[in-house]
Structure 1
Amino acid sequence: MNYLRIPVLSLAMAAVLTVALHPASASAARTDRWQADLSVVDTDDVNVRHTRAGLRLADARPPAAPARRSAVAEGMLVTSARTLAAPATRVRAEVTVTTRPGAAATVQVRGWRAHGWTEWRDAVPAAVFDSPVRQVQARVVLSASRSGATAEVRAVRLTADRVAVTAATPGLTYRVYATRIGLVGNTTANGHVVVARDHFVALPSRRGLSPRNSGDYTVRVCTTTGSRCEYAPVWDVGPWNTRDDYWNPSAVRENWKDLPQGRPEAQAAYQSGYNGGRDQFGRVVLNPAGIDLADGTFWDGLQLTTNAWVDVAYLWTGTGSRGVVGDGPLNIRSGPGTSYATRGLAAQYANVPIQCYVTGQSVTGPYRTTNRWNRLASGQFVSHAYISTVWGGTVPRC
């Protein structure tokens, strides 16, 4: 099930609205313009369909959901990535949409850098990246009203150009409260059907939501003692809120900008009565959760038996080489061989930060037979036999 509700473009009555964003002073040589193809609905899209009237929700009925989930129908279309004519730091959108009371539509974009995808950013009025990007991907997110009214997006035109930006920030780590997802057989916000002992996490903002079967946004979640960790992709939105990217600074954070960076709104509501003790939907917050863990991550990766505080690193906020776990969950070990102690797991599709590599025990895996072991940023090791690809730079020998 999907959790997001983003009322960016909403009107008090049915109407057609065009939000035009014109480049102010960009050089023609550095400006790239294109129109998003809304007609292709495929496997990475959720609950949307394309008609003569435009892109709309396939099913606008409110979902039958647990109390902590969104009470309205939602869906999204992810377009193909576009390679730009020149590196850009800003993308802006011009959206033509028909909407009705309570319904919403928004256009978000992300950019590909040397060390991975940026977070998704709203392209109205503009998305600005902290370093130049060569590729841009857009998505349209729709949500219905409680009565089932929906929006229809007719066209999305995008413009990419370059403006001065500040340097990228280093990776961020915060201690937050973790709860177990469960919900086997349900569908996550990116369209994944939850299976028993699954390995992924949910965060309360789509800004760090990975497309299905990818680890573009991966977290490292560890017990507070550091004895167990799991690298897991972000495949769902929750708990409690859906617009609370609490790991971001106030200038970037979508909502609750007066809270300290790294403190989830649900935690502040539960512990201090913030927002009257309620979440963005007006529901009484019953625990301080800032992350949800799928059962496999909860039981097998961290070996938790009850909800607990954990240390979470939001790996896309950092830099450096990343290895994609092609087959998992993969054991993380204390040394370069299978005789070393297991310190946790790396889920399939997780993008793990590789510091350097050493020579160790030879292992045969799905991608190669090799004695190379990659040392992760945590100081633990994974066999290179299970890494499908490495991006973000050359990995040096330790």
Structure 2
Amino acid sequence: MRLYNYSDLSTADIQQLVQRNVDPANEIRTIVEDVINHVQQHGDRALYDYANKFDKVQLSNLYLDKTDLEELAETVSAEQKAALETAYNNIYKFHRAQLKAEDKIETMPGVTCWRELRPIEKVGLYIPGGTAVLPSTFLMLGIPARIAGCHEIVVCSPPQKNGKVNAFIAYVALLLGIDKIYLVGGSQAIAAMAYGTESITKVDKIFGPGNQFVTKAKTIIQSTTTTAIDMPAGPSEVLVIADETATPAFIAADLLAQAEHGIDSQSILVCTSAKIANEAIAEVERQLPTLPRAEIARLAMDNSYVVITSGLHEAMDFSNHYAPEHLILATENWQQITGSIINAGSVFLGNLTPEAAGDYASGTNHTLPTSSYARAYSGVSVDSFVKKITFQHITREGIQNIGPSVEILAEMEGLHAHRNAVSIRISPPTP
């Protein structure tokens, strides 16, 4: 890991450091645009072709039905089912509390305004399945979709070498009451859900993280179709702020937990103590060879770095520039700086709160904005799966109260039909 002293960094240096997953030559965009166009033109045939090209699988069918999923789920052990159910229950409990009716507000006598929730009718869930299979992502997306009441949930996940999905994903599908999973991955899955094919329904909004190709497909789709996306959730990242009260072994474990996601993941340590930082780096080297995904984690760590700061507030300043997907405050003094957090997807407080808990089972959602998008986006929640429609009702008293102001405002803007729509109600013309 490269090491920097914050005091030596210029504004330009910091800007350069916090950049990630850029595509300056538009190489990724070019590939993804070609995939999107091919799916748009050839539908299911393109999906079969891409399964063969990218996943190295000859599919006889584009989806698994309920019988297939039940058969796969039978191979999940009782202990594994119990762990998935614990995660399901905690995630459900946390997200169910987000579904709240809003009060009606009388803005002035006789004028009442309010909002009501309506589910997004058709949603698409992308469940990654490349170098790691993520049933946890299925829970994080499927549970709020169910709570919101979405009418149709389309699920796409890359096929494994046997032409099926992982058994854990199959079991989660059954927990969620979903009886079909499409065997489609990558940017082609995003295109299929955005445009629709002979087999896959066009959806209103697409959810789910993925690699740079998936993220690029989502951003292209958002700007060229009527299909919305949750956020640009791409390669994963963590930033750990640590001081002398942190435990180096814990820091290293958290950095490596993020690094093992993929070679384009990033693990950043911002530390007020050079001693703790060096001990954490040594711990990374000690723990890394023991990991089954050590090769992937090492490549990600080569793309990561350490910043030494003079104090926690300076560390938080750098973090807000970076705008991390995951922010860990590895300090007993975390209460001193939480109020300074401006940009972060999800925050983990103290030395005993690993980011892995939020990834799986604490209850919060792990589908979060990456690549500095935490400056403007929130993570997935029940709100992501609903629309909030405004309502208003005006009584006879209300139109008399609000009417004159609306007439004046309409006159100011030169919109006389607007004025008349009010005037005719205040003083209806004589028959």
Which TM-score bucket, shorter chain as reference? under 0.3
Structure richer in strand, relative to its length: 1
Q: Which has the higher contact order (CA 8 A, sep 6+)?
A: 2
Structure richer in helix, relative to its length: 2
TM-score scaled by length of structure 1: 0.25
